[in-house]
Amino acid sequence: MISRGISSALLDRGVAPLLLVPAVLLLVVILLGPFLYMVWTSLTDLSFALPDRDGNFLGFDNYRRLMREDAIFWHSFGLTMKFVAIVVTLEFLLGFTIALLIFRFVQRRRLVLTLLLVPMMLAPVAVGLIWKLLLQGDFGMVTYYLRLIGILDIRDALLSNADAVLPAIMLIDAWQWTPFVTLVMLAGLLSLPREPFEAAVMDGARPWQIFRDVTLPLLRPIIALVLLLRAIDAFKEFDKIFILTGGGPGTATELLSIYVYRLNFKNWDLGYGAAAAFMIYLVVLILCAVFYKAVYWREGRPRQVTS
Amino acid sequence: MSRGWRSFAIGVLIAVLVIALIPWVWMLLTSFKSRLDALADVPVWLFKPTFEHYPTVFLDKNYLPLLWNSILVASVTTALSLLFGVPAAYVFARHDFRGKEDLFFFFLTTRMAPPISVVVPMFLLFTTFGITDTPMAVILAHSTFNLSLVVWMMRGFFADIPREIDEAALMDGHSRFGMFARVLIPLAAPGLAATAVLCFILSWNEFLYAFVLVAFEGRTLTVGIPGLVTPHGTLWGQVAAVAIVATLPIIVFSIFVQKHLVRGLTFGAVKG
């Protein structure tokens, strides 16, 4: 009974926040600690490849080098930005269109969604593997049909063609994540109130006008949310590319996370690698803050985009 | 809207479903193909199935422990995240204290943190603990993002329960702990179950932490996958068998959580 008394006391107003301690403690030790260590490392010359570079303090030299001298970093940064911009746009347009079609024409939505969601439930590593099999140069199923309809040259393969490989990976990402956009946008469509639509019909609005002047404005918060969540995720993309190309051919698909992986685990240049890793963290943190302030947080209170 | 439009839309949706499903189905077919059928120049859709790849890779090549590790890591991560996260979510839903929303934002950032930017120091930390290359290392790493998922999702589910229920339970003579354990938890049970399944899925599917933190003994299925792909002579039948075992349970689980999937993947901002 004593332990129950203590538990009850813990749940009492004044001390209830103590229940947060285990969760916060775990995150501080396992995540925040390593993160702070990484920030410290980024200010040193720590390397596991060169014996004399055992963590001498450099100040901001790594960051200066990264910003001013590292052409590959900027190449990766540019690729990543291109990747994020294109996949998020593509996935949004496709996903929203599919959501509208399902909303308008399908009665048994759960069944359709169950099938449609399969790609996004798969481990990204498995997705990479599946498409590696489909795109094999000599026996890949998709390669065969692309050649059959004349899109792909007989000696060409998507994953080893430096010009085609990034668009191919973008399409694979769209294959995996378009269902996510559909799922969220459909939830948004289903949650819309009826009255504005009835009023618009009474006023004699045409379907296109209703879509532009009623549906889209009502969906704006949810559109912002889905774009941001996809952008954050796409910015971190690693698994699929790691399996499909490892960043190659050359550096044609070396997005930021792959470049940081190479700095740390191939070159063992931990100090410099930490500085590059921090740049990824910074971008994600900014996107996160935008998500929180613009989408989740409204007028001083957390809110639900739909109810 | 005319019939023609309707047929056209249904046709488009069927095409979308075919494109969504064929790649995985092709992997499934490959896992039952002989080496000759798998490597044929012209894609083989109909063939005499062989069942040799599954026993070969899981028994002879010893991939069974990887399956066990995947189950272990995902289960313990889920349990740990719920144990720490559910009480925290309750506090966020029912109590006010200074810095509450800042702390909530901290949880969000841990959920979104790019693994690539913390995995190196995490590896060094776990080396100091002496737990690298054990499932424990992966469990702790996965708990970081799943814990925040639990806090974010369960806060919403607790907030959905009217506060009057709390008061009624206390009036009925429940202690505060009794109210939490016997009244609120059962009311939040469907959400709790969905959260648990989603935690399991996210841990099961994770790659980068697991790949860096374990090399041999603690390997999970996702970590075992790249090792099977070699520049030449990849045994695609066996690769496919591993990929199917790594994905089929998740596809089944996702059917159970579909109702709450939207909420889980949008941090509670959209209710499904």
The C-alpha of B37 sits at a distance from chain A's nearest C-alpha, in angstroms, of: 10
Position B267 confidence tier, pLDDT thresholds 50, 70, 90: confident
Q: Which residues of A touch B104 (CB under 8 A)?
A: 302
- pLDDT for B227: 81
- Chosen for mutation from B30, B57, B258, B270 (greatest number of chain A CBs closer than 10 Å) is B270
Which tens digits make up the pLDDT trace of B124-135? 899 999 998 899
Residue A11 has pLDDT above 80, yes or no: no
Token readout for B181 is: 């354990």
Q: Which residues of B touch A117 (CB under 8 A)?
A: 254, 258, 261
Position A7 confidence tier, pLDDT thresholds 50, 70, 90: low
| pLDDT, greater one: A82 or A301 | A82
Token readout for B169 is: 């339970």
- pLDDT for A165: 96
Asked if A30 lies within 8 A of B268 by C-beta distance, the reply is: no
Residue of B nearest to A3 (CA): B177
Does residue B39 sit in helix, strand or coil?
coil
Dihedrals φ, ψ of A297, to 5°?
-105, 125
Residue A194 has pLDDT above 60, yes or no: yes
What is each CA distance from A30 to B147, B186, B208, in whole angstroms? 12, 31, 16
- Chosen for mutation from B41, B70, B112 (greatest number of chain A CBs closer than 10 Å) is B112
The C-alpha of A151 sits at a distance from chain B's nearest C-alpha, in angstroms, of: 17
Position A293 confidence tier, pLDDT thresholds 50, 70, 90: confident
- pLDDT for B218: 86
Residues with Cβ within 8 Å of residue A199, at least 6 apart in sequence: none
Q: What is the mean pLDDT of chain A?
A: 89
Which among A31, A101, A297 has the least Cβ separation from residue B9?
A101
Asked if B144 lies within 8 A of A119 by C-beta distance, the reply is: no
Asked if A19 lies within 8 A of B90 by C-beta distance, the reply is: yes
Residue B116 has pLDDT above 50, yes or no: yes
Residue spans of alpha helices (H) in B95-207: 100-112, 115-129, 135-160, 163-171, 176-178, 185-187, 189-205
- Chain A segment 121-180 residues within 8 A of B by beta carbon are 121-126, 129-134, 138-139, 141, 144-145, 175, 179-180
User: E strands along A140-290, which residues?
Assistant: none
Token readout for A108 is: 């048994």
Asked if B41 lies within 8 A of A130 by C-beta distance, the reply is: no
The C-alpha of B95 sits at a distance from chain A's nearest C-alpha, in angstroms, of: 7
Which tens digits make up the pLDDT trace of A25-69? 999 999 999 999 999 999 999 898 888 888 888 989 999 999 999
- Chosen for mutation from B101, B126, B128, B266 (greatest number of chain A CBs closer than 10 Å) is B266
Q: What is the mean pLDDT of chain B?
A: 91
- pLDDT for A307: 42
Residue B221 has pLDDT above 80, yes or no: yes
Residue A1 has pLDDT above 60, yes or no: no
Which among B21, B24, B176 has the least Cβ separation from residue A12?
B176
Residue of B nearest to A277 (CA): B117
Residue A4 has pLDDT above 60, yes or no: no
Residue A219 has pLDDT above 60, yes or no: yes
Residues with Cβ within 8 Å of residue B151, at least 6 apart in sequence: A23, B85, B88, B89, B92, B104, B107
The whole-model pTM stands at: 0.92
Residue A234 in contact with partner chain B when CB distance is under 8 A: no
| In chain A, % of residues over pLDDT 70 | 91
What is each CA distance from A304 to A182, A195, A221, B90, B161, in whole angstroms? 19, 20, 10, 18, 15
CA distance A187 to B5: 23
Residues with Cβ within 8 Å of residue B125, at least 6 apart in sequence: A30, A33, A34, A37
CA distance B149 to B127: 27
Position A246 confidence tier, pLDDT thresholds 50, 70, 90: very high
Residue B38 has pLDDT above 80, yes or no: yes
Residue A6 has pLDDT above 80, yes or no: no
- pLDDT for A300: 47
Q: Which residues of B touch A273 (CB under 8 A)?
A: 120
Residue A301 has pLDDT above 80, yes or no: no
Residue of A nearest to B27 (CA): A130
Asked if B271 lies within 8 A of A112 by C-beta distance, the reply is: no
- Chain A segment 42-61 residues within 8 A of B by beta carbon are none
Residue of A nearest to B115 (CA): A236
Q: Which residues of A touch B12 (CB under 8 A)?
A: 101
Q: Which residues of A touch B180 (CB under 8 A)?
A: 11
Residue B138 has pLDDT above 60, yes or no: yes
Residue of B nearest to A26 (CA): B144
Q: Give the closest residue to B109 by CA, choosing from A41, A92, A259, A296.
A: A296
Position B261 confidence tier, pLDDT thresholds 50, 70, 90: confident
- pLDDT for A3: 56
The C-alpha of B206 sits at a distance from chain A's nearest C-alpha, in angstroms, of: 7
- pLDDT for A13: 54
Residue A22 has pLDDT above 70, yes or no: yes
Q: Which residues of A touch B110 (CB under 8 A)?
A: 27, 31
Which among B20, B240, B271 has the least Cβ separation from residue A118?
B20
Which tens digits make up the pLDDT trace of A114-164? 999 999 999 999 999 999 999 998 899 999 999 999 888 888 889 999 999
Highest mean pLDDT among A119-128, B211-220, B231-240: A119-128
The C-alpha of B204 sits at a distance from chain A's nearest C-alpha, in angstroms, of: 8
Beta strand A297-298 with A301-302 is: antiparallel
Residue A5 has pLDDT above 70, yes or no: no
Which among B110, B240, B271 has the least Cβ separation from residue A31?
B110
Residue A77 has pLDDT above 80, yes or no: yes
Asked if A98 lies within 8 A of B13 by C-beta distance, the reply is: yes
